[in-house]
Amino acid sequence: MNYIGSKYRLADFIDQSIRKVVGNDLSNFVFCDLFAGTGAVGRSFKTMVHQVISNDLEYYSYVLLQNYIGNHTRIECKELFDDLNNLAPIQGFIFNQYSENGSENRCYFSESNGKKIDAIRQKIEVWNEEKKIDTTVYFHLLASLVESADKVANTASVYGAYLKKIKSTARKEFVLKPAEFENTGSSHLVYNENANLLIEKIKGDILYLDPPYNAREYGANYHLLNTIARYDEFLPKGKTGLREYGKSNYCKKNLVSNSFEDLISKANFKYIFLSYNNEGLMSPETIKNIMSKYGSYRIFTQKYARFKADKSTNRTFATNETIEYLHVIQKNDIH
Ligand SMILES: C[S@@+](CC[C@H](N)C(=O)[O-])C[C@H]1O[C@@H](n2cnc3c(N)ncnc32)[C@H](O)[C@@H]1O
């Protein structure tokens, strides 16, 4: 997924930096990805560590994490994908509220794709209620739906607005593709909580933090993925059809430093890594000052090409560079 702040393309930098600090054998480690988003970082460590703990405030993210991190033994369900892909279209909530020619004509999806998403989403829920599928399959199908829907979304990249004309990738026929996950011998933990509350209930070896860097709230920018994932009843607001969304202290200039220090002080992990860039709400000095209070501090840096959506062509392209920091402490006191 083209996700704001995704660390997919920084996975090697993060992996190599972490190994420089903790060593190469991670096989007994508990690794926590506390602001996991798409799960890209936890996924890259899943087969190398004993256990991944993965968490995010947003429900669509929780769905992805339940599949990519929580699921760890092979699922055989090709025939379910065939059934879902062959369903007759339905004029449901996504078609009416968020599709071309729906009652609100909010063009986030083409008419036929909106109806297909409704048909598939409703069938997954029926199968779950009838206990035809268990939780692992439920989240596997839902994660596949969220990702496949995102591929045909008629947006410049996020869901803050839709494009007036249906672009070519959004015109493509929706196909539900399996969201493949890695199998592992041991199990993992997945949460959908505020990081500052969850931190009091967990412990481990490596804590990886990748909070939002700026004021852009994920709940607003990805509201439609939450709506597909939850498929609940509500009255969409205004031109963009926004739903009520939870706000994060990490997106607020006046709250972020206190929340960050609260998190670091409570963390029951030996090593703490924080990804942040040079354009974030907290300056590198502020972060260094806070983290240094709780352990021995060091920093890794990497130049990174900024990606932007070009609204005229609906493509993303690399512009100038930003600097991506990985701040580290080895914590003094863990209880
Ligand atoms: C920079 S993104 C993480 C990207 C992720 N590392 C990836 O590669 O996909 C920040 C994430 O933090 C989540 N978030 C924001 N505030 C949070 C909070 N208080 N507790 C837990 N998650 C939060 C957002 O929903 C978002 O997914």
User: Minimal CA–CA distance to 207: which of 291, 249, 262, 270?
Assistant: 270
Q: How many domains does the chain have?
A: 2
Q: Does the residue 260 lie in any domain?
A: yes
State yes or no: pLDDT of 125 exceeds 90: yes
User: Minimal CA–CA distance to 330: which of 7, 20, 13?
Assistant: 20
Q: Say whether both 187 and 111 belong to one domain.
A: no
How high is the pLDDT of residue 153? 98
CA of 100 to the centre of ligand 1 (A): 30
Q: Does the residue 223 lie in any domain?
A: no
User: Minimal CA–CA distance to 158: which of 48, 60, 296, 80?
Assistant: 60
Check if 38 has its Cβ closer than 6 Å to any atom of ligand 1: yes
CA of 62 to the centre of ligand 1 (A): 11
CA-closest residue to ligand 1 atom 15: 248
Question: How many CB atoms neighbour CB 309 within 10 A?
Answer: 14
Q: Does the residue 257 lie in any domain?
A: yes
Tell me the C-alpha distance between 23 and 105, whole Å: 55
Tell me the C-alpha distance between 112 and 171, whole Å: 9
Check if 100 has its Cβ closer than 6 Å to any atom of ligand 1: no
- Number of H helices and E strands in the chain, helices first, is 13, 7
Residues 10 and 275 sit within 8 Å (Cβ to Cβ): yes
Check if 324 has its Cβ closer than 6 Å to any atom of ligand 1: no
pLDDT in tens, 278-323: 999 999 999 999 999 999 999 999 998 876 655 555 555 556 788 9
Q: Does the residue 219 lie in any domain?
A: no
Q: Say whether both 186 and 254 belong to one domain.
A: yes
Q: Say whether both 156 and 278 belong to one domain.
A: no
Q: What is the CATH number of the domain that holds 294?
A: 3.40.50.150
Q: Does the residue 199 lie in any domain?
A: yes
Q: Say whether both 257 and 241 belong to one domain.
A: no
Higher pLDDT among residues 1 and 85, named by residue: 85
Check if 3 has its Cβ closer than 6 Å to any atom of ligand 1: yes
How high is the pLDDT of residue 173? 97
Q: Say whether both 54 and 97 belong to one domain.
A: no
H/E run at residue 307: strand 295-310
Q: Say whether both 261 and 332 belong to one domain.
A: yes
CA of 102 to the centre of ligand 1 (A): 32
Structural domain ending residue among the three candidates 221, 247, 273: 247
Q: Say whether both 198 and 329 belong to one domain.
A: yes
Residues 223 and 217 sit within 8 Å (Cβ to Cβ): no
Q: Does the residue 306 lie in any domain?
A: no
Q: Say whether both 190 and 133 belong to one domain.
A: no
How high is the pLDDT of residue 312? 53
Structure confidence at residue 334 as a pLDDT band (50, 70, 90) = confident
The closest-lying atom of ligand 1 relative to the alpha carbon of residue 40 is 8
Q: Say whether both 160 and 63 belong to one domain.
A: no
pLDDT in tens, 239-279: 999 999 999 999 999 999 999 999 999 999 999 999 999 99
Mean pLDDT of all residues in 176-186: 98
How high is the pLDDT of residue 307? 62
State yes or no: pLDDT of 159 exceeds 80: yes
pLDDT in tens, 56-104: 999 999 999 999 999 999 999 999 999 999 999 999 999 999 999 999 9
Q: Say whether both 135 and 265 belong to one domain.
A: no
How high is the pLDDT of residue 304? 86
Question: How many CB atoms neighbour CB 255 within 10 A?
Answer: 14
C-alpha to C-alpha distances, 64 to 5, 60, 71, 141, 212, nearest whole angstrom: 16, 6, 10, 10, 18
Mutation probe of ligand 1 site: the residue of 18, 35, 150, 201 with most atoms within 8 A of C-beta: 35
Question: How many CB atoms neighbour CB 297 within 10 A?
Answer: 17
Q: Does the residue 317 lie in any domain?
A: no
User: Minimal CA–CA distance to 299: which of 313, 285, 312?
Assistant: 285
Q: Does the residue 316 lie in any domain?
A: no
The closest-lying atom of ligand 1 relative to the alpha carbon of residue 222 is 25
Check if 35 has its Cβ closer than 6 Å to any atom of ligand 1: yes
How high is the pLDDT of residue 309? 58
Mutation probe of ligand 1 site: the residue of 44, 218, 304, 326 with most atoms within 8 A of C-beta: 218
Mean pLDDT, all residues of the chain = 95
State yes or no: pLDDT of 17 exceeds 90: yes
How high is the pLDDT of residue 333? 77
Q: Say whether both 41 and 89 belong to one domain.
A: no
Mean pLDDT of all residues in 195-222: 98
How high is the pLDDT of residue 133? 98
Q: Which domain holds residue 161?
A: 77-142+149-177+233-247
Q: Say whether both 19 and 131 belong to one domain.
A: no
